[in-house]
Chains A and B, each alone.
Chain A
């Protein structure tokens, strides 16, 4: 597990400081999409 964590630190993602931040962004994007779809469905 320690090895994995160190590998994650070496492999940095573009645009974000850590992979964790990118994952939070992707999860947030999913929530935004679901909300948008919900409001879209409700509006029509």
Chain B
């Protein structure tokens, strides 16, 4: 990065922070602070909902995921539009009618206080952990690639977010997210066209697609019924549906985004805006990752994208072994490049094309195997090192091949995404603590001004906690999955509670409370059994287990408790 990049980066970030603080100065009441004074139109809500979900991890890990395993990850989002229809048709009218600040207030009105506390507590645990990861994830990668100090990077991101979130509350979060989404989309499109430009020196866009297709990178839909396969259309439609329904219907960081609308219609339209655009956006980001893969067929990629790990192995007793693998890798890349060039030469026969495709696939498999071997040698040099390097692919490309100015813009994209998600999370964590615990249990008769100041202090406190968690966090194998796994462990149970509330009117508080505790414990046990290798189950199914378990158990318990009461 040079001075131009730094000017673009800091200019963009400081402008967004200053704009957010300026536009929301002088917040006077708690409704304005927590719900944005019900002043937001559907466009702002839609972008805010999208920006909350699209964290920095989305823009770092998703292209890396496509680089490693192709477009299949897009199936995870297939359940999202259906979930948003349910939230729009069922959840929003009830939340608006009851005039709630948080989703968990509804649980007390429908069941009892302990169920409200349970829902709010599960949210605080999973979102509190996720907030730390949201800051930590981009910081670890950016600091490693740009050789910045990790703690300073975490502190810088966290403090910028805290400034405007504490100052302007929900409205500041939403209006800064509009600017952040603008920066994000501009940056991603610019990166895409630069990649296509580079590839254009060697082949056409059609040729790039042919290469990617022959290497199995464009398989976006998988109809396999094997429950162990991580991404299939079935897990995407069912598990993805439950994950999205829990996230958009019961996670306060999202509920707060759409409760700030001028009317229920504006909130619903904001969600429909997402239902239409989210899948194409994810497809595009994954497609950028696939194009980076094609790009690295013509421009030699490093054998391992995590430079710090390569430095360690090159200065260890395993340097010679690593060098030998690197030599074979360069040879495999040359074979792959030659075959790819042959494949995209349109003056050849179908028979020759098939032969070139096979040669390219063999060379590609060889290069993948050598990358794996290199990881094993890295582990031999230092067994504590994290060898998964897919999160470093896209940023390595950005910092190595993009022109100056654009590098600064793309780093601003990553920080903007981190800030937009973190601000929503801090805002929601503070609202839940303030409304569901402080106002409900500690001080019931405070003034509006008192609750406003308390909410600001709580936002600051959660911000400091998130920063501390980020500083103390250890390396996670795959950042996007770490957040999704944490979400999936808790979301299903919370969703089950809400679905029972909406659709099973005979079930009372005690039944659903006990059912939720048992279901949550079961999901945690299943997760640890999966981690221990006792069986193979995709984490998306946790949502189904937690949700289904809560519903079925609460119905059984209600039958039992109901019968017992009528007998007595």
Q: Which residues of A contact B (CB under 8 A)?
A: 3-4, 7-8, 11-14, 19, 22-23, 26-27, 29-30, 33-34, 37-38, 40-41, 43-44
Contact = CB atoms under 8 A, between A and B. Distances in A.
B66 to A, nearest CB: 13
B268 interface: yes
B209 A29 contact: no
Contacts of B272: 13, 22, 26
Given A34-B221, A38-B221, A23 B265 contact: no
Contacts of A29: 81, 275-276
B263 interface: yes
Contacts of B264: 7, 11
B209 A44 contact: yes
A30 B213 contact: no
Nearest to A39: B221
Q: 4 tightest A-B contacts by CB?
A: A44-B213, A11-B265, A37-B220, A38-B221
A23 B269 contact: no
A37 B212 CA distance: 14
A12 B42 CA distance: 13
A37 B85 CA distance: 22
B97 A7 contact: yes
Tell me which of B218, B220, B272 has the highest count of chain A C-beta atoms within 10 A of its own C-beta. Answer: B272
B295 interface: no
Interface string B267-294: 0110010011001100100000000000
A19 B268 contact: yes
Interface of B: 71, 74, 78, 81-82, 84-85, 88-89, 93-94, 96-97, 209-210, 212-214, 218-221, 233, 263-265, 268-269, 272, 275-276, 279-280, 283
Contacts, number: 72
B269 A13 contact: yes
Contact of B81 (A12, A26, A43): A26
Contact of A26 (B85, B214, B219, B283): B85
A30 B283 CA distance: 13
Contacts of A43: 213
19 contacts: A11-B265, A12-B265, A13-B268, A22-B272, A23-B89, A26-B272, A26-B275, A27-B81, A30-B78, A30-B279, A33-B279, A33-B283, A34-B233, A37-B71, A37-B74, A37-B221, A41-B213, A41-B219, A44-B214
A44 B97 CA distance: 50
Contacts of B263: 11
A39 B271 CA distance: 28
Contacts of B218: 40-41, 44
Contacts of B269: 13-14
Contact of B221 (A7, A14, A22, A41): A41
B210 A44 contact: yes
A34 B214 CA distance: 21
Contacts of B94: 4
A23 B276 CA distance: 10
B265 A4 contact: no
Contact of B89 (A19, A34, A38): A19
Given A4-B94, A44-B218, 8 more contacts: A13-B265, A14-B269, A30-B78, A37-B221, A38-B221, A41-B71, A41-B220, A44-B212
A36 B96 CA distance: 37
B93 A8 contact: yes
A23 B74 CA distance: 21
Contacts of B275: 26, 29
Contacts of A12: 265
Contact of B85 (A8, A27, A41): A27
A22 B96 CA distance: 20
A22 B88 CA distance: 11
B259 to A, nearest CB: 15
B38 to A, nearest CB: 14
A37 B276 contact: no
A40 B219 CA distance: 8
Nearest to B85: A23
A5 to B, nearest CB: 9
A1 to B, nearest CB: 10
A23 B220 contact: no
A3 B272 CA distance: 22
Contacts of A44: 209-210, 212-214, 218
A4 B93 contact: yes
Contacts of B214: 44
A13 B42 CA distance: 11
Nearest to B211: A44
A20 B275 CA distance: 14
